Amino acid sequence: MTAGTSGTRLPSADGSQQLTGRQRLAAGLWPPRVTRAQLVVALLLFVLGLGLAIQVRSNNDDSALRGARQEDLVRILDELDDRTQRLEDEKQRLDDQRTELENSSDQAEEARRQTLEKEQQLGILAGTAGAQGPGITLTISDPSGTVEPDMLLDAIQELRAAGAEAIQVDGVRVVADTYFSGTGGDVQVDGRPVTAPYEFKVIGKPQDLEPALNIPGGVVQTLEKEQATATVTRAEKIVVDALRPAKRPDYARSSSG
C-alpha cells in the first residue's frame, strides 16, 4: 500500500498516527509564534520608515530654504526687506512724477485757454476780431441832412454806457479811438464817409441798450427834434464783422516785466 494522500496520518510503530511532512510544516507556521524581540524590531522599522517619508516630503516642499543656514536665512530676509523698500521708493517717485505732470498739464492747458480767451476779448475790443451775440440794430434816417456828427457820437456814448460790447456803423468798426467828423449830410467815421440811413449794429444786452436810447431827453428825442427818426430793433443775434487792422503804438510800451 502506498503512502496515501496528504491528509492521511501514517501509523507509527507503537500504533499511534504520525504527521506527514506537509502537515508538520503547516503546524509550524500557523498560528504564528511572535516573540517580543520581533515585535520591537517591527515597531522600530515602522517608525524609521515613517520618519524617512516625512523627511523626503519636507525636502520636496522647500528644500532650498530648509537646508539653508541661519546666516543665509538672515541675509535672504535682509535682501527682501531692501527690495521691498526700493519698490516703495520707486512707487512714491512715480506717484510724485505723475502728480507733477498732471498739475503741469492742467496749468499749461488752463494758461493756454485763458490766453486764447483773453486774446479773443482784446480782439473784440480792438476791433481786430469779429463778434456776434444778442443786441440791437439802431437805424437813423436823416431826410433833411440835419443830423450832425456829434449827435451820432452821443448815440455811441449812450450805448457804451449801457454796456455795448461791440459796435459798427455802416461797415466801420467803432473802437476806443473812433471819431466822427464832417457836417450834417456829410458825416465821416474815422475819416470814412457814411451816408444816411445810418445803421448801428450793437452787441450787448437788449434790455439795457434800448431803454438807454429812449430816456427822456436822450438820443431818440434829440434826433426827433432835428426831423430825423430813430428805430431800435432787438435781435437774438447781431453780427459785427467789420474789422480794424492791428495797429502798433508809436510811443506806448508795456510797463510789465
Domain ranges of the chain: 131-240
Q: What is residue 7's predicted lDDT score, i.e. its pLDDT?
A: 46
Nearest to 239 by CA among 140, 173, 161: 173
Q: Is the pLDDT of residue 86 over 70?
A: yes
pLDDT, one tens digit per residue, over 164-189 is 999 999 999 999 999 999 999 899 99
For 235, other C-beta atoms within 10 Å of its C-beta total: 15
At 248, the pLDDT band (50, 70, 90 cuts) reads confident
CA angle, 173 then 177 then 181, to 5°: 80
Q: Assess contact for 188 and 148: CB atoms under 8 A.
A: no
Q: What is residue 112's predicted lDDT score, i.e. its pLDDT?
A: 80
The residue type of 115 is T
Length of the chain: 257
187: left (phi over 0), alpha (psi -120 to 50) or beta: beta
For 96, other C-beta atoms within 10 Å of its C-beta total: 10
| Ordered strands of the 198-203 beta sheet | 172-174, 166-169, 198-203, 131-141, 229-240
At 98, the pLDDT band (50, 70, 90 cuts) reads confident
Q: Assess contact for 230 and 121: CB atoms under 8 A.
A: no
Q: Tell me the average pLDDT of the chain.
A: 80
Top CATH class of 131-240 equals: alpha beta
Directed axis angle between helix 206-213 and helix 149-161, to 10°? 140
pLDDT, one tens digit per residue, over 31-73 is 555 566 666 666 667 766 766 666 656 555 455 566 667 776 7
Mean pLDDT in residue range 193-202:
96
